[in-house]
Amino acid sequence: MPVNLSGRVAIVTGAGGGLGREHALLLARLGARVVVNDLGSTVSGSGASSSAAQQVADEIVAAGGEAIANGASVTDFGQVQQMVADTLARWSKVDILVNNAGILRDKTFAKMDLADFRLVLDVHLMGAVHCTKAVWEPMRARNYGRIVMTTSSSGLYGNFGQSNYGAAKMALVGLMQTLALEGARHDIRVNCIAPTAATRMLEGVLPPDTLKALDPAAVSPAVAALAAEDAPNRTILCAGGGSFEAAHVTLTRGIHLGRGDAVSHLVGNRLAEITDRTGEIVPANGFKQGEVELAKAKTGLTMGSGAGRNA
């Protein structure tokens, strides 16, 4: 059975085109009432026009769904708060937030102006923070919420010329990790989507046949799954071209080396053991790393493997 979002209210940012448009259209087809948010700027973030968002909202309405357009800039918390207030006034709730809005200012780090670094962080990271903050209390009050952050392989694994974009996208993973923990008791589930799709951000970068294979619509089912009532929590779901994977931030079993001047040398010499992924874990929270390290330290002391002996 397809995901059923009947009666749900969703806000999708950056929904005037590309991935956001496909997310909005699919959520609407699955029954959600959708706020189509888009500033209408260029890929680099300049300019503004409400026409793109309105076209998508009109398309949803023409197909028998319910949608409204919104031109708030996600970088302006006041505008975002007003968008949420208008949504609550119209539909009384916000069940789903898809943080999709983003821009590119690609250059190598050596050539990048710090203003371009800050702007990309402001749109991707702070834009998601603004939107999430604005819906957080309404979701807590109703003990229900589904929030999707849009991360990227550029953040998870790095990409040449995208230090600003990669930093912002990985920061969203960290935001997701903590908010998923804080929202759990109110049934607010927070996840990430890492899409691979042919959007205007990739025009001129990839050949036409590759662009065709990476239809943005192929990513949206993953977003719908993360917006569903039975959505997971703290999942980094990767999607592209009809394929789906999961990414994890893991912790290897590592080794205990104790203390002492010789330890820095030992760390370098034994990196293969330290980075061996056999038996690695996905920590339940940030304290788990410390727990693992303390347990190994206690074992090491019990066995008498102090710094001098490790040396």
Q: Looking at 63-151, list the stretches that DSSP marks H as alpha helix, in order from N- to C-terminal side.
A: 77-91, 114-121, 127-142
Q: Are residues 275 and 176 both part of a single domain?
A: no
**Per-residue H/E/C for 1-50:** CCCCCCCCEEEECCCCCHHHHHHHHHHHHCCCEEEEECCCCCCCCCCCCC
Sequence letter at residue 30 = L
Asked if residue 190 lies in contact with residue 147, where contact means CB atoms within 8 angstroms, the answer is yes
SS3 percent helix, strand, coil of the chain, rounded to 5, is: 45, 15, 40
pLDDT of res. 311: 32
- Are residues 292 and 171 part of one domain? no
224-279 pLDDT, tens per residue?
999 999 999 999 999 999 999 999 999 999 999 999 999 999 999 999 999 999 99
Note whether 51 and 136 are same-domain residues: yes
Q: At 94, which amino acid appears?
A: V
pLDDT higher than threshold 90 for residue 205: no
Nearest to 223 by CA among 135, 133, 97: 97
Rounded Cα distance, 52 and 38, in Å:
7
Please name which of 195, 237, 197, 189 lies closest in space to residue 215, comparing C-alpha atoms.
197
For 209, the token pair is 């046949």
Q: What is the mean pLDDT of the chain?
A: 92
Give the CA angle between residues 37, 43, 46 to the nearest 5°. Answer: 80
- The whole-number pLDDT of residue 211 equals 76
Phi, psi of 115 (to 5 degrees): -65, -40
In a domain, 301, yes or no: yes
- Is 90 exceeded by the pLDDT of residue 47? no
Distance of CA 23 to the CA centre of its chain: 14
Number of domains the chain contains: 2
Based on the fold, state whether residues 211 and 268 are members of the same structural domain. Answer: no
Q: How confident is the model at residue 299 (pLDDT cuts 50, 70, 90)?
A: confident
Give every CB contact of residue 32 below 8 A, 6+ residues apart in sequence.
5, 6, 8, 9, 10, 95, 96, 227
Are 290 and 154 within one domain?
no
Whether pLDDT at 25 is above 80: yes
The pTM (predicted TM-score) of the whole model is 0.91
- Let me know whether 188 and 214 are in one domain: yes
Q: Are residues 276 and 217 in the same domain?
A: no
More confident residue, 311 or 216: 216
**Residue 181 domain flag:** yes
Sign (positive or negative) of CA dihedral 2, 6, 12, 15: positive
pLDDT score at 202: 58
> Alpha-carbon distance 216 to 42, whole Å?
18
Catalytic residue annotation: 165
Give per-residue pLDDT as tens, 276-298.
999 999 999 999 999 999 999 98
Q: What is the pLDDT of residue 198?
A: 82
Show the tokens assigned to 163. Answer: 């230090």
Say if 177 falls within a structural domain.
yes
Query: The domain that contains 110 carries what CATH number?
Result: 3.40.50.720
CA angle 140, 146, 150 (to 5 degrees): 125
Least confident of 13-27, 50-64, 292-306: 292-306
Q: How far apart are the C-alpha atoms of 140 and 36, rounded to whole Å?
A: 23
pLDDT of residue 308: 37
- For residues 43 and 14, the answer to whether their CB atoms sit within 8 Å is no
Asked whether residue 46 is assigned to any structural domain, the reply reads yes
User: What's the domain range around 293?
Assistant: 263-310
pLDDT band (50, 70, 90) for residue 310:
very low
Same domain? For 31 and 62 the reply is yes
Residue 222 lies in a domain: yes
Do residue 110 and residue 241 come from a single domain? yes
- The pLDDT of residue 21 is above 60: yes
| Statement to judge: residues 143 and 99 lie in one domain | yes
